[in-house]
Amino acid sequence: MFLRFFHLGNLEQLGLHFWAIDIDLRFANYYRMVIVVEYEYKIGKGFNMTILFKTTKQLELQIDEYLDAVSQGALVFRQGVKNYLDNDEIQFAERLTTISKLENKADDLRRMVENQLYTHSLIPEHRGDVLGLLESMDEVINTSKKTLSQFSIEEPNIPINLNKEFLELTEMSVLAADSIVFATRAFFRDISSVKDHIHKVMFYEKEADKVEDRLNREIFGMDVDLSRKLHISSFVSHIGMVSDMAESVGDRLAIYTIKRTV
């Protein structure tokens, strides 16, 4: 196969870096060669636009599908908690089945992306960051699925007067998860907007902490056995953990973003 690389280093002083690739077109369709471009263009103080990579349509779709699965998992999680609190056993069982399938789908897609990145030697300077980011995103949907599973296994007896606070906590966790999906999409498409989405993740995580504290005070103020208090409180922690996982991804994403823009 005929392949030549040209590094246009003479443009580095302008903040413009990329590789030009010359490929024998007779083999292009067969191999579906991936053209990797790292393009950084700076105009004036504070303006920095970076395209992480351009690659095959298949890989782009896999990353989008992966993030879709995580986002859908958060939405199913919200409905699952509501179904449980409403004593809707049939709908709850369906939500648990759905989120389990979404978790498996997300795992499969992450492995496909990993295989593509290593097989085609894509973005070697950022490959570790991309894979680390996707792996940490797994914890968001994994925690959501595990929490619904714990509801199914342990069947906590939650007083109806706590339903409103449980739903509020669930909503804050889901919003944090949804925001981290937006932030991750921005990392690949529009890195200048990542910070705005991470800010929302942190806001919703802090709001979730406030609801957790309020819920636990109500729980331990109830006139019931301590064992029941502890059991109900454990599910406050389970639900809040979803927002904690989103915050953890946000912390990692903030570091990756700085590395790409410095």
Q: What is the pLDDT of residues 222-254, one digit of tens each?
A: 999 999 999 999 999 999 999 999 999 999 999
Question: Which pLDDT tens digit goes with each residue over 144-188?
Answer: 999 999 999 999 999 999 999 999 999 999 999 999 999 999 988
pLDDT the model gives residue 8:
40
Residue at token pair 């802090």: 206
pLDDT the model gives residue 132:
85
pLDDT the model gives residue 181:
96
Domain limits, the chain = 3-51, 57-261
Task: Quote the CA–CA distance of 8 and 222 in Å, as a whole number.
Answer: 70
Question: What is the percent of the chain where pLDDT is above 90?
Answer: 60
pLDDT the model gives residue 20:
38
Lowest mean pLDDT, pick from 15-19, 64-68, 95-99, 223-227: 15-19
Question: What is the percent of the chain where pLDDT is above 70?
Answer: 75
Task: Quote the CA–CA distance of 116 and 120 in Å, as a whole number.
Answer: 6
Q: Is 217 exposed, middle or buried (0-12, 13-18, 19+ CB in 10 A)?
A: exposed
**Which pair of structure tokens corresponds to residue 258?**
């700085």
Does the structural domain 57-261 have CATH classification 1.20.1250.20? no
pTM over 0.75: yes
Q: What is the mean pLDDT of residues 123-143?
A: 82
Question: Which pLDDT tens digit goes with each residue over 20-68?
Answer: 343 333 334 333 333 333 333 333 333 333 345 455 667 778 889 999 9
pLDDT the model gives residue 126:
63
93 and 79 Cβ atoms separated by less than 8 Å: no
Residue from 85, 106, 100, 212 nearest 149 by CA: 100
pLDDT the model gives residue 123:
55
Q: Is 108 exposed, middle or buried (0-12, 13-18, 19+ CB in 10 A)?
A: middle
Predicted confidence (pLDDT) at residue 138 exceeds the cutoff of 70: yes
2/176: higher pLDDT:
176
Confidence at 204, pLDDT banded by 50, 70, 90: very high
